[in-house]
Amino acid sequence: MPNIAYLSLGSNIGDRKGHLEQAIARLDALGDVAAVSAFYETEPVEFTDQALFLNCAVALETSLSPSDLIVSLLDIERSLGRERFQKKGPRTIDIDILLYGDHVVNLPDLTVPHPALAGRRFVLEPLAEIAPYATHPILKKTVTKLLEELPPGQNVWKLCKS
């Protein structure tokens, strides 16, 4: 039985829009892409000395387990030229699992819900567009509520529908 996985996609190297579009197209092999947010231009966080990102959120109906899904997402990243030179550094594509139904996963290589979800405007703005009432299974708050509770900062600009 399929679950809804909410994903965050981001790119800040090369053809950012093209990288996002290619990644979204490849997600079809992993299930049904049920929704895609608009694209948002966002400031980098943590390591800020890099180009602006283009981000979006995707709802994916999938029968893959969270562990199998992350393996497949990492394969998509590699196929689109993702190289991991610097933690939080520039990247052609980044795909994170934000939520996976109401599952809580704590594995060495995967934590769901994403541990930084509640504090990232560049993730919550696009996610609120496609899943405003999705609930964080640990914090018991909707995406909309998490977004409302964010302090000012982290500039995010909605650009276009994907």
- Is 109 in the active site? no
Looking at 26, 82, 120, 121, which residue is catalytic?
Answer: 82
The catalytic residue among 94, 102, 109, 121 is 94
- Is 84 a known active-site residue? no
Asked if residue 131 lies in contact with residue 61, where contact means CB atoms within 8 angstroms, the answer is no
Catalytic option among 16, 26, 91, 120 = 91
Task: Report how far apart, in Å, the C-alpha atoms of 108 and of each of 43, 80, 112 are.
Answer: 28, 24, 11
Question: What DSSP designation does 102 have?
Answer: T
- 16 beta partners: none
Nearest of 96, 68, 69 to residue 82 by alpha carbon: 96
Per the annotation, the verdict on 82 as an active-site residue is yes
Residues in the chain: 162
Question: Phi, psi at residue 66, to the nearest 5°?
Answer: -55, -40
**Residue 139, phi then psi, degrees to nearest 5:** -80, -20
Give every CB contact of residue 28 below 8 A, 6+ residues apart in sequence. none
Cα–Cα distance measured from residue 88 to residue 143, given in angstroms and rounded to the nearest whole number: 23
Q: Which residues are known catalytic residues?
A: 82, 91, 94, 96
